[in-house]
Structure 1
Amino acid sequence: MRKNTERSTVLPVAPTRGRLRPLGLDEVRITGGFWARRRQVNATATLDHCRDWMERVGWIGNFRAAVEGRIQRDRRGREFADSDVYKLLEAMAWAAAGHGPDSSLDAEIAVLTDTIAPAQEADGYLNTAFGRPGQQARYSDLEWGHELYCYGHLIQAGVAQTRARGEGELAKVARRAADHVCVAFGPAGIEGVCGHPEIETALVELARATGEQRYLDQAALFVERRGHGTLTDPEFGRAYYQDDMPVREATVLRGHAVRALYLAAGAVDVAVETRDENLLAAVVRQWEATVARRTYVTGGMGSHHRDESFGDDFVLPPDRAYSETCAGVASVMLSWRLLLATGEPRYADLAERTLFNVVATSPAEDGQSFFYANTLHRRRRGTVPAPDAESPRAESSLRAPWFAVSCCPTNVARTLALLPAYLATADDQGLQLHQYADAEITTSLTGGDTVALTVRTGYPSDGTVSVRIDRSPERRPWTLSLRVPAWAAGATAWLVDPDGVRRAVAPGTAAVTRRFRPGDEIRLELPVTPRWITPDPRIDAVRGTAAVQRGPLVYCAESVDLPKGREVDAVRVDPSVEPRDAPYAPQDGIGVENAVLVAGGPVVHREAGDAPWPYESIAHSASAGTDTGESTGIVLVPYHSWANRGPSTMRVWLPTAKSFTDDEAGR
């Protein structure tokens, strides 16, 4: 495999071919707005929070215990606890890349690496849960042991360090582990796969970073082995870990949502690097079916709590939405890879929806507590978790500081740290903007010409995105493309070119091609007014309801904004009256980020009242409750902000005041 030296090296995903070339952390800098604030909290609070908790609960100490020969007695955490230490290291490496060559994070990475490296065995094997006296043998539990999964996160951390700083000790540890995997699981080795896919993407990225073909070959081998029944049949069925059918034959993502999405991302990586169009087409087919039938309005994936899995088509209950934060991260990973491979903006659409409504929902405003699962309907007010104890349950009613399984906090941390790399791409024609934030971008076009631009926007509160050209080749025309989100369908978006010409643009891509000059400005005006949306009638759980979306943000009703004593289940709305923006006076000085929306009336608060039997004929169904006739409207807040103001009930999908036919719903 050849190394492409014409591109940025500071990249989480660096394909050697594809429709679009990603821009790295050394080319894109987020300077303000929605994502800058979250990245700042991530860098100043979340990284330390994760490290401190992993010291407190003993997951970092496991490596010391392994070296000192007391691991059998003293090991703490689940069998995959090592992986969270590695995800933290990856997050630190990407965060350090944005803080110059002397970041204090580099010293912290070195300290953690000095703790981990001595636990690695001579042949490269590294795991604190297996292989030592008193523990299960290496690779004796491929279904649940997560050894290869842990290697995947270790390798990704090593790649992050290599790209951010050059090959350091962490990268060397990761590479020794990868070499071990190629021997242990190569063509002459164990003919198995890990119960939790993840190593596939890591090995491909290591191949891209080093130019070593054997890592790509091993990743491809793992993808091809998957789905042939090499793992035991669990209580959830082989689909749980995608071992029920080969990747090429699957038509939809199924089983454990995070596993399925990680495997699909790895398959895209393999397909791109090996020019395997059939494999790429298989993943595209699965993505399309999953988005059309198995994805929540927030972009969340996974509707089963019992096995953290996708449900059947259109099984999307809001109150039982699992929608794991890690599945949101994995969905963004997959969408980004498909965008780079194909150039199609629909993948950036889903990534945007998921970033704003799943990834941004998980951490609290202070970055020190998190949602693991992301329900769309909370029926009972939650209880505040203890600040100094692990939450034993993923479905905590409020954000918890840590979990017995805390994969999500470190996954959010690494995603926010590398987020600038998801904003923009380049190709032979020019530059493309896919996600909108205040940013400064500098890169070289094909042929070596440098372009630089500044993006200014209040997005997602405001729909205006202004792009100023700061540097451009004098005699060469090139194309600046801006994504017009799919959510803008049904309204008018406008593009204003440097000459002041204003034209309507449809969802997809809006482009300007010219000889740009410094000072030229392009403006995209997106219609971020609130609107009602209705579900596909095949989603039984939300038939007869409506929700509000404003730009990329999904909104929800929260009990703290209702009249005293009311709960969200008492609310009925009338979608024939358009929602509108309105000023919002925060309670007790606690505000809600972004514009807050008032849903137009009449909004009926239905008094609950028990009947002897909860089912009535249509003619007598009104006896179950009394409409109060209140029509002052209710406040809806961005879904990502819910539960930041204390215990509450919440719902995204709101029952309508009267049933309406498919024709009335706009279908």
Structure 2
Amino acid sequence: MTFTTDRALRTTVAPAVPSTGRLRPLGLDEVRITGGYWAGRQRVNAAATLPHIEHWLEREGWLPNFDLAAAGTLPEGRRGREFSDSEVYKFLEAAAWQLGRDDDPALEERFRSVVARVVAAQEADGYLNTNFGRPGQGERWSDLEWGHELYCAGHLFQAAVARVRTRPDAGDGLLGVATRFADLICDVFGADGIRSVCGHAEVETALVELGRVTGEARYIEQARLFVERRGTGVLRDIEWGRSYYQDDIPVREAEVLRGHAVRANYLASGAVDVATETGDAGLLGALERQWANTVARRTYLTGGQGSHHQDEAFGDDFELPPDRAYSETCAGVASVQFSWRMLLARGGSGYADLVERTLFNVVATSPSADGTAFYYANTLHRRTPGEPADPDTVSPRAESSLRAPWFEVTCCPPNVARTLASLDSYLATASDDGVQLQQFAPARVATALTDGQEVELTVTTAYPSDGRVEVVVGRDASAPWTLSLRVPDWAAGATLTVDGETTEVAPGYAEVRRAFRAGDTVVLDLPVAPRFVRADPRIDAVRGSVAVQRGPVVQALESVDLPDGWPDVADVVVDTAVAPRDEDGRVVVRLCRRRVADAGWPYGAGAPVEAEAAVDVPLVAYHDWAERGPSTMRVWIPES
């Protein structure tokens, strides 16, 4: 891998590249994950997940839809939901980021083949959608509430941005397709056009990124118009209310994220992009408030968001039932995007803390170990053993009780794929003063500071299995600069060792400022020992229960680990007088089996309860649950 540090000769190779902000991201050309947990996930993503997605896109007809469009035979033969085009674009984005990480001639050839089919389907005026605009189909822009035309366009734009940033001289036509469609959207939805928005936010952040990569201010202005129109009642009311697609309250006036969790986070991401590019401090302040309130009141321990199944939505404040957690994988991906943009705009370790929590406990939980099956929703309590999914059958959206190969609504697999393929760009940031390590993995970092100094770092760690993070500086500095290492909010008692001197550091950032010399070593030790976690007492559903977290990784009790004769995770309580501990690579807690006699009426004086002798039982990392067959599972365990 070659790192280029001449800022004048390159564009940052990352999904979000704001022109201003407290921090700038370090892209795939500056940061490389070299080992550890996330490198393993990325290998599986490249070798198994991307081919898996491409196979299903072809098999289910979503790629062939573009061939039908090019041939002029639609709507006959079209397959998939109204938003199926977007899955093709997300696959292209994921493939583009992967090609930015590693040269792969076979993947490059497949990428170009798919792009050629997309290019052929575009209409003369730039419009591109396989579900609207032809005889026998709905008219263009006739169903903004549910049609997803602009949503699909947004994912097309993001695929084009990824391609330009990773292969600027590709010449495959994808950027031209995107800009022609974006020009049409600006014509149709501009200040004098249709004064409405898409029911599923996404195009906002995509238009800003397209504007950033092309230098076309018109795209950013269109994104601003979409953000300003949201919440003014431009979409039809529905049974769940306009809050479902955030059209109930203007973005500037909202106090917390609400409605459909994916849409809310995508809208917030786009609004941050608009605010940073236009210098809108008021809008950015509103988003800062919404992020803080959502994290404090409407986010699961895992970082998951959304407790309503019927509308895939946030619940009210502190409405976070574990057994009814929807916690859609795509909401996790969108939350990471929102938090990351806030981090770049504002700085602050809390944003990176939530990114870490969500990556390890939502994004990493969705795909199976082999990368060919996925969770759409991520419950925190499974009451009945799941049913294995047929590896050759499409599953209903959230009804698969174990990871499934494909869904009727298949947003999650390609969303996971594009996140993992671009994950290197979420590890580190830079400022005028230095470099900040936001996430921890074995990695190489090479960048240039604003003053032209070249910085090289080698990060060695077994995190999150071990809390030791060693950073070795690779170049002499001509002037002092600051190396900052994030200390997570859970890491009370962390220490920093420099030149053999160890000091305790508080959550936030541990900073070392000096004129570094090659070979200088900084070691951050994070206390990743397992610990009990209790919830805010206003979360009614888990009152009287505890969870276990080891470092950033939430643990779960799975029925396959219970002693013989203990049938279910519902029948246990945890002895919190005995601290959880590491043993043979697992976290172990002391449990008692609880026997409760049935009564004729469950609201009397209380059914008799008997507790059997305590037994030490291993937990499993939540992101690894359900890899050993059908089971019951719970994250929150009642206290004895």
1:523 alignment partner AA:
V
Is the partner of 2:471 in helix, strand or coil? Answer: strand
Matched, 1:494 2:495: yes
Is the partner of 2:474 in helix, strand or coil? Answer: strand
Residue among 403, 410, 414 paired with 2:414: 410
1:572 alignment partner AA:
V
Separation (CA, whole Å) in 2 of partners of 1:67 and 1:30: 40
2:165 alignment partner AA:
R
TM superposition shift of 1:609: 3.5
TM superposition shift of 1:5: 4.3
Give the corresponding residue for 1:152.
154
TM superposition shift of 1:51: 0.5
Give the corresponding residue for 2:548.
548
CA-atom RMSD, angstroms? Answer: 1.1
Separation (CA, whole Å) in 1 of partners of 2:8 and 2:597: 69
Deviating above 6 A after TM superposition, structure 1's stretches of 4 or more consecutive aligned residues are none
Residue among 408, 419, 428 paired with 2:432: 428
Give the corresponding residue for 2:610.
626
Contact 1:494 1:524 in 2 (8 A): yes
* 1:239-287, Cα deviation, whole Å (9 max, x unpaired): 0000001000000000000000000000000000100000000011111
Contact 2:302 2:554 in 1 (8 A): yes
Give the corresponding residue for 1:522.
522
Contact 1:449 1:472 in 2 (8 A): no
Give the corresponding residue for 1:397.
401
Range that drifts further, 43-52 or 65-74:
65-74
Q: Tell me: CA distance 1:651–1:356, structure 2 relative to 1, closer, same or farther (3 Å).
A: same
1:486 alignment partner AA:
D
2:635 alignment partner AA:
V
Give the corresponding residue for 1:165.
167
Q: Tell me: CA distance 1:605–1:144, structure 2 relative to 1, closer, same or farther (3 Å).
A: same
Q: Tell me: CA distance 1:644–1:213, structure 2 relative to 1, closer, same or farther (3 Å).
A: same
TM superposition shift of 1:104: 2.8
Residue among 644, 650, 654 paired with 2:627: 644
Matched, 1:303 2:307: yes
* 1:98-144, Cα deviation, whole Å (9 max, x unpaired): 113x6432211110011111111111100000001110000000000
Separation (CA, whole Å) in 1 of partners of 2:244 and 2:461: 42
Contact 1:480 1:512 in 2 (8 A): yes
Give the corresponding residue for 1:133.
135
Separation (CA, whole Å) in 2 of partners of 1:608 and 1:560: 22
1:112 alignment partner AA:
V
TM superposition shift of 1:332: 0.3
Contact 2:596 2:607 in 1 (8 A): no
2:604 alignment partner AA:
E
Matched, 1:654 2:628: no
Give the corresponding residue for 2:486.
483
Separation (CA, whole Å) in 2 of partners of 1:188 and 1:525: 57
1:138 alignment partner AA:
R
Separation (CA, whole Å) in 2 of partners of 1:351 and 1:39: 17
* 1:536-573, Cα deviation, whole Å (9 max, x unpaired): 11000110100001100000100000023421001101
Residue among 423, 439, 442 paired with 1:438: 442
Separation (CA, whole Å) in 1 of partners of 2:249 and 2:507: 36
Separation (CA, whole Å) in 2 of partners of 1:569 and 1:273: 51
Residue among 592, 595, 608 paired with 1:604: 592
Is the partner of 1:528 in helix, strand or coil? Answer: coil
Give the corresponding residue for 1:665.
none
* 1:339-393, Cα deviation, whole Å (9 max, x unpaired): 0001111000000000000000000000000000000000000110111000013
Residue among 39, 42, 64 paired with 2:42: 39
Contact 1:9 1:164 in 2 (8 A): no
* 1:14-66, Cα deviation, whole Å (9 max, x unpaired): 00110001101000000000000000000000000000011111110111111
Q: Which runs of 5+ in 1 are unaligned?
A: 584-594, 658-667
Give the corresponding residue for 1:269.
273
Separation (CA, whole Å) in 2 of partners of 1:126 and 1:455: 44
TM superposition shift of 1:9: 2.7
Is the partner of 1:541 in helix, strand or coil? Answer: helix
Q: Tell me: CA distance 1:482–1:6, structure 2 relative to 1, closer, same or farther (3 Å).
A: farther
Separation (CA, whole Å) in 2 of partners of 1:76 and 1:567: 42
Matched, 1:73 2:63: no
Separation (CA, whole Å) in 1 of partners of 2:604 and 2:336: 45
Contact 2:459 2:470 in 1 (8 A): yes
TM superposition shift of 1:289: 0.6
2:156 alignment partner AA:
L
Matched, 1:190 2:173: no
Is the partner of 2:595 in helix, strand or coil? Answer: strand
Residues 352-367 of structure 1: pairs in structure 2 closer than 5 A: 352-367=356-371
Q: Tell me: CA distance 1:8–1:440, structure 2 relative to 1, closer, same or farther (3 Å).
A: farther
Contact 1:8 1:27 in 2 (8 A): no
1:70 alignment partner AA:
T
Give the corresponding residue for 2:53.
50
TM superposition shift of 1:395: 3.4
Contact 1:29 1:441 in 2 (8 A): yes
Give the corresponding residue for 1:122.
124
Matched, 1:105 2:107: yes
Is the partner of 1:265 in helix, strand or coil? Answer: helix
TM superposition shift of 1:399: 0.1
* 1:516-548, Cα deviation, whole Å (9 max, x unpaired): 111111000000011001011100011010000
Separation (CA, whole Å) in 1 of partners of 2:476 and 2:251: 44
TM superposition shift of 1:6: 7.2
Is the partner of 2:193 in helix, strand or coil? Answer: coil
Matched, 1:59 2:59: no
Separation (CA, whole Å) in 2 of partners of 1:281 and 1:576: 43
1:334 alignment partner AA:
F
Separation (CA, whole Å) in 2 of partners of 1:42 and 1:8: 25
Q: How many residues matched?
A: 631
Give the corresponding residue for 2:377.
373
Separation (CA, whole Å) in 2 of partners of 1:69 and 1:208: 34
Is the partner of 2:511 in helix, strand or coil? Answer: strand
* 1:399-451, Cα deviation, whole Å (9 max, x unpaired): 00000001000000000000000000111111100000000010001121111
Is the partner of 1:488 in helix, strand or coil? Answer: coil
Identity %: 62
TM superposition shift of 1:633: 1.6
Contact 1:425 1:432 in 2 (8 A): yes
Give the corresponding residue for 1:200.
204
Separation (CA, whole Å) in 2 of partners of 1:135 and 1:385: 34
Q: Which runs of 5+ in 2 are unaligned?
A: 1-6
Separation (CA, whole Å) in 1 of partners of 2:8 and 2:324: 48
TM superposition shift of 1:608: 4.7
Separation (CA, whole Å) in 2 of partners of 1:103 and 1:28: 22
Is the partner of 1:633 in helix, strand or coil? Answer: strand
Separation (CA, whole Å) in 2 of partners of 1:257 and 1:194: 15
Contact 2:12 2:26 in 1 (8 A): no
2:588 alignment partner AA:
V
Contact 1:302 1:323 in 2 (8 A): yes
1:479 alignment partner AA:
T
TM superposition shift of 1:7: 6.4
Residues 222-371 of structure 1: pairs in structure 2 closer than 5 A: 222-371=226-375
Is the partner of 1:142 in helix, strand or coil? Answer: coil
Contact 1:8 1:23 in 2 (8 A): no
Contact 2:12 2:25 in 1 (8 A): no
2:586 alignment partner AA:
V
* 1:492-533, Cα deviation, whole Å (9 max, x unpaired): 100001x11110000000000111111111000000011001
Separation (CA, whole Å) in 2 of partners of 1:6 and 1:544: 58
Is the partner of 1:205 in helix, strand or coil? Answer: helix
TM superposition shift of 1:291: 0.4
1:610 alignment partner AA:
D
1:190 alignment partner AA:
I
Residues 8-47 of structure 1: pairs in structure 2 closer than 5 A: 8-47=11-50
